[in-house]
Structure 1
Amino acid sequence: MSAVEDVVTEAPAVEAVPKRAMTLGTGTSVVVLLLLLVVPVFAKNFVIFQLTQLLYLGLAVLALNILTGGSGQFSLGQSAFYGIGAYITAVMMEQFNIPYFLCLPVAGVLCFGVGFLFGQPALRLSGVYLALATFALATAMPQLLKLNFLEKWTGGVQGLVVTKPDAPFGLKMSQDMWLYYFTLVVVLAIYIFSVNLLRSRSGRAFMAIRDNEIAASAMGVNVALYKTLAFGVSAGITGVAGGLSAIAVQFVAPDSFTITLAIQLFLGMVVGGVGWLPGSIIGAAFIIFVPNIAEGISKGLSGAVFGVLLFLVIYLVPHGARQVAILGQQFASRLRKN
């Protein structure tokens, strides 16, 4: 029997991902959704803006989670796709007067194409070498956005101001509140799509490649296709998140999409739990609010305080928020039995 036949015979079939492995329970999901719907009604505009920021950054972390947690590919270049999506949305809105809700699908499709194409040469790389390649992409992107021949559209170094949309149909709500609910609908739609993707045949192929690329290839999985597809899907979702950020912040500039942003997204994925999609929001909350907490503790040493807090989180819960959720579920089960 050949070596390939041995692999085919001994390698277990890839099981469908259990529902709890990637989503919250039905009751918890309903409670979280109700909170997301109700809280903005009683909040100030600045708090609503922060919640909107939480949603679109959580979406970007989710996109990275699909790539790394789903297919096992490490990327430090998500800020590049985020910036591309933001600029596509901003340029279409301000230079071509295209409605914002039409700009986001275009940003997603174009970023999918860029990610898919970038995934082609990246097929030869894995692990730290792939991370370095994507790091190079993130480092180069701000400089590419400053090129002279793009300046008439992008605004060059000075960036581009984006007009925040008003609520449609004469709805009596502020711009921030309308944009929050619009972002919530987009994020929920993509979240449902992502869950179904990871449960599908393609998602099982992603995870087979993540667990053992050689065994996946021996079982008939087209490794090259699915690895590039994972890159494309992740880039597309990240592009939509970037477009939402451009609308919410009302401004895009090359220096807003540096490697620092890519590291923040990677950090959010780790804190939220690699491979656990609901943890993306928790990871986004960490990268938004914990630096502010650190600055409140010590303005002069905010970076050091943030580092200590991050170290404590990684040391105490190395698997991120997913580990906390599992421990909470086990504790609740014990209470029910007693």
Structure 2
Amino acid sequence: MSSTPLSLKSSPASGGLARHWRWAALALLTAAACAAPFQLAPFRVFQLTMVLVYAMALLGLNLLVGHAGQISLGHGCFFALGSYAAAIMMDRWDVPYLLTLPAAMAVTFVLGFALGVPTLRLRGLYLALVTMTIAIFLVPLLKRFGSLTGGSMGLTLAHPEPPAWTGLARDQWLYLLALAIAAACGLVAWSLLRSRVGRALHALRDNESAAEVMGVRLARYKTLAFAWSAMFAGAAGAVNTWVIAFVSPDSFTVNLSIMLLAGIVVGGLGSTAGPLLGGAFVMFVPTFSQGLNEAAPNVVFGVLIIAVMYLAPTGLAGLAGRAGRFAAHIQRKK
């Protein structure tokens, strides 16, 4: 006979109820997200669009760090490459902006795979330092090829205009476009993690030696984790170019990579909601703290990271999950 108290056992009915609540919450969140651009001022719509852009980039970083266990301090590099790939195609070759998205994703996927190969024997701090070095070298490299990238002045583009048949304003169109692309990226990541690939990445994260004994091909999945992560960052970079309509090397310093890593740690590594919460953190914390002092964003970032790691080691998503389980436990007691 089991010694587990009856009150602590989960039943199929309670599991089904929890799933219903999750689907209801997802439907409510989707409805609110779709209605947001029609209820908010254009600047707030722009801010929410940038939250979605950062969430796409953090989706890739979450796949690499949270699920594959590979630390990267150079994720902003792929974000920048996706941005420049879209900007160069739009500015130099007059490519329609929607076609720059798959091209940016393909370019960053290949480059991410190429980066994954020489880092196969690195892990932990050494891997972080190598990826950070790549991010540091990117800015002078972009300035070096000024004839293509615009050099220090960058490239100024025209904002994409919505199709006439939509009847939407520009900010509404870009927001809904970013929302659709972010949802598609999230669906792809969810499908990957629920497949054999996801199980292999989790085995790699938990114990590389044990994963190799179980038949997981470490080299293959490490390089693919870098490639997929870079691909999502490239998609975010392309959408970022559409929204900002400007790219410059100084916008993609190593601080961006550090900020993205901080965002996914605060949002919740390995969680479903972590990238979205991290995107909001990356977008709104500097905005609200900039008015206090020029150095305030860095200070606030540090303080919030320490606070989250102390109060919620699994990030804001883990804190929300614990609050939900506590509320469900109280409800069952009643």
Q: Same fold (TM over 0.5)?
A: yes
Q: Tell me how far apart the structure 2 counterparts of residues 52 and 197 of structure 1 sit (CA, whole Å).
A: 25
Does the alignment pair 1:78 with 2:78? no
5+ residue gaps, structure 2, are 1-14, 16-20
Which of 200, 216, 231 does residue 211 from structure 2 map onto? 216
Query: Which one-letter code corresponds to 1:33 in the other structure?
Result: T
Which of 250, 254, 258 does residue 259 from structure 1 map onto? 254
SS at match of 1:146: helix
Does the alignment pair 1:133 with 2:130? yes
Query: Which one-letter code corresponds to 1:216 in the other structure?
Result: A
The total of aligned residue pairs comes to 313
Report deviation, 1:306.
4.3
Does the alignment pair 1:107 with 2:101? no
Report deviation, 1:220.
1.0
Deviations 1:229-266 (A, max 9, x none): 00000001101101111111110011111110000100
Query: Which one-letter code corresponds to 1:330 in the other structure?
Result: R
Query: Which one-letter code corresponds to 2:45 in the other structure?
Result: I
SS at match of 2:120: helix
Report deviation, 1:106.
0.6
Query: Which one-letter code corresponds to 2:229 in the other structure?
Result: S
Query: Which one-letter code corresponds to 1:115 in the other structure?
Result: G
Using the aligned pairs only, state the percent identity: 41
CA contact (8 A) 1:294 1:306 kept: no
Query: Which one-letter code corresponds to 2:222 in the other structure?
Result: K
Report deviation, 1:291.
2.4
CA contact (8 A) 1:167 1:174 kept: yes
Q: Tell me how far apart the structure 2 counterparts of residues 67 and 135 of structure 1 sit (CA, whole Å).
A: 15
Superposition pairs of residues 81-230 of structure 1, within 5 angstroms: 81-147=78-144, 150-230=145-225
Q: Given the two structures, how large is their TM-score scaled by the length of structure 2?
A: 0.90
CA RMSD of aligned residues (A): 1.6
Superposition pairs of residues 225-304 of structure 1, within 5 angstroms: 225-296=220-291, 298-299=292-293, 302=296, 303-304=298-299
Q: Tell me how far apart the structure 1 counterparts of residues 75 and 301 of structure 2 sit (CA, whole Å).
A: 22
Q: Tell me how far apart the structure 2 counterparts of residues 83 and 255 of structure 1 sit (CA, whole Å).
A: 10
**Post-superposition, which runs of at least 4 consecutive aligned residues in structure 1 deviate over 6 A?**
none
Deviations 1:171-196 (A, max 9, x none): 22211110110111000001011001
CA contact (8 A) 1:89 1:100 kept: yes
Q: Tell me how far apart the structure 1 counterparts of residues 40 and 271 of structure 2 sit (CA, whole Å).
A: 29
The residue number in structure 2 matching 1:329 is: 324
The residue number in structure 1 matching 2:63 is: 66
The residue number in structure 1 matching 2:50 is: 53
CA contact (8 A) 2:262 2:305 kept: no
